[in-house]
């Protein structure tokens, strides 16, 4: 075994006495480079043992405290060991051959063992929650991915699924970073990998091809907090979309050489099947409310198109749609539910009853208000809907307009106008002047829109809006007192209004005539004298 050469003055000054007392003696940067050169020039393979021991000691030290010198030394060791193994692999020293004699086979086996130790150490560095975020971990990730590429070219002549799976398990399970308020992860290694992952089809294919069993086993053996962390890491990686292109999948860029990839990697059904298994596995995890919102916001665009049988999401989506505690989760599930009903024949008997129950005062103060009304306009567009059903939505919205914010009323008025134009049988609600009724027959507490008796009521709320304090709303509401000559309103012109936009409109309004004033105007402060010699303004005299 090569000596550690601690007799030189330079080596002694690079290792502090405190480090010697606390952990294994650490080599200086110059000593590390020297050991690497010896492996390269003199084939002193025993130096691998020294360098790997040093790397493990550095990893342990950095979990306890910040040490820039140790981090720099660790980065150098990672790069040196990788470069030496790369050279040995290209020279055929990492794989057995019939041409090797017994001594050479022993060397190959010994080097293979050290290579596995190196991979394990790299994974340990990746999964360790070090004292601070270090470049060593990013270098370790880059080197490990290069090992995947190296193995595909030299030893296995195929994509090294097992090596990649070990990397993914270490990456997803580690406790680095935290779950953000939006349900994703701020794990800096996961974020760095996601930037690489989104560019290569083979990394995407084999992630879903290898992880299903692991995700299921984690569900049975880990705590809820750990499962939520894993979910956050997975979604952070895949939320930018996949390179799945059904028309030209063979030309998508790959991380390893296309020559070693099997033809199954380009089979659409194979990918969709494995993708679906993994997605259903992580959706079965106990999710937090922000994570529900995160996955539902990308489900219809980033996940459903890649699944072999999206009907498998029915239970998840109906459970999300039925949640009563959080209004936003049912709203976000509408996009995916609509996609399943439109394209995959999902039947949801109580869909409109649930949609009606989402009409609450807090709806107009959520950030997803515009999304809800876009979808609601789509769901109520059919002319085959019951008049009682549509009347309930019209009446409920009119009632909510009485207490809603100004920006919310701006949406409600054209929305009701469009519903009345689309469903003329509901026009009776505008002209209902039956004075024999005592009170409003509309039952505001009824949850079934078919039983609210809204069609027997009148839209007196719209007449009240004609006296709204905001002039724009009062003017807009007056359309219900005029003939309905306009075909419909474009809802996109009203969905993004807010208090700020309303104020900006007033501030930039140009008045055609002089603005109305509450007092009489005069050409001058003091008018001319009258015949009696007094000023015209009362209280002024000579």
Q: What is the DSSP string of 420-487?
A: HHH-GGGGHHHH---TT--S----TT-SSGGGS-GGGS--HHHHHHTT-SSHHHHHHHGGGGS---S-
Task: Output the pLDDT for position 341.
Answer: 87
Task: Look up the pTM and report it.
Answer: 0.81
Residue that is written with structure tokens 């060397």 in the block: 107
* Structure tokens, 147: 């090992």
Residues 486/418, Cβ–Cβ less than 8 Å? no
- Kindly give the interhelix angle for 406-422 and 369-379, rounded to the nearest 10 degrees: 10
Per-residue pLDDT of the chain (542 residues; tens, 9 = 90+): 333 334 333 333 333 333 334 444 788 889 999 999 998 888 888 999 999 999 999 999 999 999 999 999 999 999 999 999 998 888 877 776 666 678 878 888 899 999 999 999 999 999 998 888 889 999 999 999 999 999 998 766 789 999 999 999 999 999 898 999 999 999 999 999 999 999 999 999 999 999 999 999 999 999 999 999 999 999 999 988 888 876 778 888 999 999 899 988 988 899 999 999 999 999 999 999 999 999 999 998 889 989 999 999 998 998 888 887 788 999 999 989 988 988 888 888 888 999 999 999 999 888 889 999 999 999 998 888 999 999 999 999 999 999 988 889 999 999 999 999 999 999 999 877 665 566 788 999 999 999 999 999 989 999 899 998 888 889 899 999 888 888 889 988 888 877 777 777 777 766 666 555 556 655 555 555 555 555 555 555 54
Contact 164, 214 (CB under 8 A): no
> Considering only CA atoms, which of 212, 205, 198, 210 is closest in space to residue 261?
205
The CA radius of gyration of the chain, in Å to the nearest whole number, is: 35
Q: Please give the pLDDT value at position 500.
A: 76
Question: Phi first, then psi: what are they for 30, rounded to 5°?
Answer: -70, -35
CA distances 90 to 26, 95, 151, 245, Å, are 31, 10, 10, 34
pLDDT of residue 93: 77
Please report the pLDDT score of residue 166 as a whole number. 96
How far is the CA of 421 from the CAs of 71, 342, 450, 466, in angstroms?
Answer: 70, 24, 20, 20
pLDDT at 142: 95
Minimal CA–CA distance to 203: which of 138, 145, 260?
145
Check if the beta carbon of residue 137 is closer than 8 Å to that of residue 55: no
Q: Torsions phi, psi of 179, nearest 5?
A: -85, 125
Classify each residue of 50-89 as buried b or exposed e, where b means 16 or more C-beta atoms within 10 Å of its C-beta: bbbebbbbbbebbeeeebeebbbbbbbbbebbbebbbebb
Domain ranges of the chain: 25-155, 158-348, 373-433+440-508
CA distances from 365 to 67, 97, 144, 369, 498 (A): 49, 71, 48, 7, 10
Q: Are 337 and 348 in contact (CB under 8 A)?
A: yes
Is 158 strand, coil or helix? coil
Distance CA(36)–CA(48), nearest Å, equals: 8
Element (H, E) at 329: helix 328-343
CA 299 to chain centre: 10
CB 277 within 8 A of CB 212: yes
Q: Could you please report the per-residue DSSP string of 375-416? A: HHHHHT--TTS-HHHHHHHHHHHHHHHTTS-HHHHHHHHHHH
Q: For the chain, what is the largest distance between any 2 Cα atoms, rounded to a whole number of angstroms?
A: 135
Burial class (CB in 10 A: 0-12, 13-18, 19+), 261: buried
For residue 18, what pLDDT is reported? 38
Q: 154: buried, middle or exposed (CB in 10 Å: 19+, 13-18, 0-12)?
A: middle
The rounded distance, in Å, linking the Cα atoms of 53 and 69 is 17
Could you give the CA distance from residue 116 to residue 48 in angstroms, rounded to a whole number?
12
């Amino acid at each position: 075994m090569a000596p550690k050469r601690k007799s030189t003055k330079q080596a002694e000054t690079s290792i502090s006495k405190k480090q010697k007392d606390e952990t294994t003696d650490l080599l200086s940067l110059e000593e590390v480079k020297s050991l690497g050169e010896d492996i390269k020039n003199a084939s002193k393979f025993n130096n691998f043992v020294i360098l790997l021991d040093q790397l493990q000691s550095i990893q342990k030290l950095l979990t306890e405290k910040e040490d820039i010198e140790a981090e720099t030394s660790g980065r150098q060791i990672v790069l040196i060991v990788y470069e030496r193994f790369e050279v040995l692999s290209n020279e055929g020293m990492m794989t057995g051959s019939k041409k090797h004699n017994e001594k050479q086979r022993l060397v190959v086996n010994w080097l293979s063992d050290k290579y596995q130790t190196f991979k394990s150490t790299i994974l340990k560095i990746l999964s360790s929650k070090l004292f601070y975020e270090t470049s060593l971990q990013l270098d370790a990730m880059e080197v490990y991915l290069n090992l995947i590429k190296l193995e595909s070219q030299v030893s296995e002549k195929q994509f090294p699924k097992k090596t990649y799976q070990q990397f993914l398990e270490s990456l997803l399970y580690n406790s680095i970073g935290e779950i953000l308020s939006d349900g994703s992860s701020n794990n800096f290694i996961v974020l760095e990998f996601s930037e690489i992952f989104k560019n290569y089809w083979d990394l995407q294919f084999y992630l879903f091809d290898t992880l299903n069993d692991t995700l299921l086993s984690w569900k049975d053996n880990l705590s809820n907090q750990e499962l939520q962390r894993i979910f956050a890491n997975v979604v952070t990686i895949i939320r930018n979309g996949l390179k799945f292109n059904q028309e030209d999948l063979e030309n998508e860029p790959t991380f390893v050489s296309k020559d070693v990839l099997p033809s199954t990697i380009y089979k659409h059904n194979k990918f969709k099947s494995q993708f679906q298994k993994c997605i259903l596995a992580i959706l079965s995890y106990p999710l937090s409310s922000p994570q529900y919102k995160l996955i539902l916001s990308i489900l219809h665009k980033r996940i459903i198109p890649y699944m072999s049988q999206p009907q498998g999401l029915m239970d998840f989506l109906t459970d999300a749609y039925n949640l009563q505690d959080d209004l936003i989760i049912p709203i976000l599930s509408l996009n995916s539910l609509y996609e399943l009903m439109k394209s995959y024949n999902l039947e949801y008997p109580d869909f409109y009853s649930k949609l009606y129950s989402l009409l609450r005062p807090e709806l107009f103060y959520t950030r997803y208000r515009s999304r809800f009304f876009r979808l609601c306009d789509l769901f109520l567009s059919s002319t085959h809907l019951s008049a009682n059903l549509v009347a309930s939505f019209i009446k409920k919205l009119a009632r909510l307009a009485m207490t809603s914010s100004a920006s919310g009323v701006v949406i409600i008025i054209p929305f009701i106008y469009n519903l009345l134009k689309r469903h003329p049988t509901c026009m009776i609600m505008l002209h209902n002047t039956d004075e024999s009724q005592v009170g409003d027959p509309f039952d505001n507490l009824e949850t079934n829109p078919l039983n609210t008796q809204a069609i027997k009521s009148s839209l007196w709320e719209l007449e009240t809006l004609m006296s709204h304090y905001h002039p724009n709303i009062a003017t807009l509401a007056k359309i219900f007192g005029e003939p309905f000559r306009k075909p419909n309103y474009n809802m996109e012109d009203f969905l993004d209004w807010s208090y700020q936009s309303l104020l900006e409109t007033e501030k930039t309004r140009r008045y055609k005539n002089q603005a109305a004033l509450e007092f009489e105007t005069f050409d001058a402060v003091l008018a001319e004298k009258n015949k009696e010699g007094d000023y015209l303004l009362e209280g002024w005299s000579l």
